[in-house]
Structure 1
Amino acid sequence: MSILQRIVLGGVLLFAQGSLAAQGEILARPRLTVPGINYGYWEYLPQDYDDNSEERYPLVIFLGGLDQAGDGTASANGLEKLMGVTAPPRLIRNGRHFPFILLSPQRFNAWWGIEEIDAIIEFAKLHYRVDANRIYLTGLSAGANVTWTYAVNYPHKLAAIVPIAGNGNGLPTCNIWNVPVWAFHGTADTTVSPYGSINPVDRLNNVCNPAASPPAKLTLYPGVGHDSWSRTYSGSAGHDIYTWMLSYSL
């Protein structure tokens, strides 16, 4: 490749990255409007993202549940469904700011394949200034199931996970003995049994050899049903999952 070609290519890449950047806002990126990704997603960049052009930022990927699945368009049947729950995208729309890049992708159903999630992470690393040592995955219900599944298959890529109201049973949980885990569940959840969180955390701490390091955390909300995520993501239950996640890196 000639010097001129390299200069032109560099300019194209800078333009592409700049066209994505809109710091401090939650923006809809509808399906097939961003080269390199086949899904629609919500994008949030920290408030100082444009001002610190050399800085690399932590990445949080949020996965919704069955009710948040959609066609990835900027419509009520698409990305707006991800705004229907109290979770990071809605918190940002309502005025909250975070010191990390947030991507919240949408699929026609919530049962993401692990290769799909991995492709989204690789897309993010290519298109945003991501600190590859500080990538975090969190999800609710079906999205939490995917969080568990991706983590046990790609433990070397994640700095921490927060699965909420999910099911991590039947997975090779010991693969994530060194991935910080903080699981949440309501004890009265009749949609996904609380043992979907209790069992894998217990296995990590008491069965795996080596045992989880740091010890896996579990927070149970007495009498709470399936929606154990609203109080967790908002912090109204007194747990700061964001500071906790960001305290870990690879």
Structure 2
Amino acid sequence: MGGYGVWDLAIHNPKTFAAIVPLSSGGQISKAEHLKNTAIWAFHGAIDKIVPLEQMTDMVTAVEQHQGSVNLTIYPDLGHDILRTTLSNQELYSWLLKQKSRVELPL
């Protein structure tokens, strides 16, 4: 349930994370607005038999509807187990290091 937890943690703590990287999951579409200031790069396998791809695409669409910043990578030949492939993506680490919080915190 890790990917669902990533979405949930960011939704309930919108001022905490500059970016999140949910894998093979979906989230609470009704609360997607809470993620409008969090950069998101989501990953999902197209042939995932555990979590349907639609759960991810529905969440991504919901965040985008609130002008959130979302990238989605779909692995066409992979199922649910995408962790190793995703963690080998060096571009992901460069992207994460570039993210800054878009929420103004009080002084």
TM exceeding 0.5: yes
Question: Counterparts of 2:35 and 2:29 in 1: how far apart (Å)?
Answer: 14
Aligned to 1:248: 99
Aligned to 1:4: none
Larger Rg: 1
Q: Secondary structure at the match of 2:62?
A: helix
Aligned to 1:190: 49
Does structure 1 conserve the Cα–Cα contact (< 8 Å) formed by 2:23 and 2:42?
Answer: yes
Aligned residues: 101
Question: Equivalences for 1:128-207 in 2 at 5 Å?
Answer: 142-205=1-64, 207=65
Question: Equivalences for 1:1-250 in 2 at 5 Å?
Answer: 142-205=1-64, 207-208=65-66, 211-212=67-68, 215-235=69-89, 240-250=91-101
Question: Counterparts of 2:29 and 2:94 in 1: how far apart (Å)?
Answer: 30
Does structure 1 conserve the Cα–Cα contact (< 8 Å) formed by 2:26 and 2:58?
Answer: no
**Structure 2 unaligned blocks of 5 or more:** 102-107
Does structure 2 conserve the Cα–Cα contact (< 8 Å) formed by 1:185 and 1:226?
Answer: yes
Aligned AA (1:222) = P
Q: Which has the higher contact order (CA 8 A, sep 6+)?
A: 2
Does structure 2 conserve the Cα–Cα contact (< 8 Å) formed by 1:186 and 1:194?
Answer: yes
Question: Counterparts of 1:169 and 1:241 in 2: how far apart (Å)?
Answer: 24
Q: Secondary structure at the match of 2:22?
A: strand
Structure having the larger proportion of residues in strand: 1
**Structure 1 unaligned blocks of 5 or more:** 1-141
Question: Counterparts of 2:92 and 2:45 in 1: how far apart (Å)?
Answer: 16
Q: TM-score, normalised by structure 1?
A: 0.39
Question: Counterparts of 1:166 and 1:240 in 2: how far apart (Å)?
Answer: 21
Structure having the larger proportion of residues in helix: 2
Q: CA deviation at 1:160?
A: 0.3
Q: CA deviation at 1:169?
A: 4.0
List structure 1 runs of 4+ shifted beyond 3 angstroms. Answer: none
Q: CA deviation at 1:171?
A: 4.6
Does structure 2 conserve the Cα–Cα contact (< 8 Å) formed by 1:173 and 1:200?
Answer: yes
Q: TM-score, normalised by structure 2?
A: 0.86
Aligned AA (2:100) = S
Deviations 1:140-159 (A, max 9, x none): xx111100001011010101
Across the aligned residues of Structure 1 and Structure 2, the Cα RMSD in angstroms comes to: 1.4
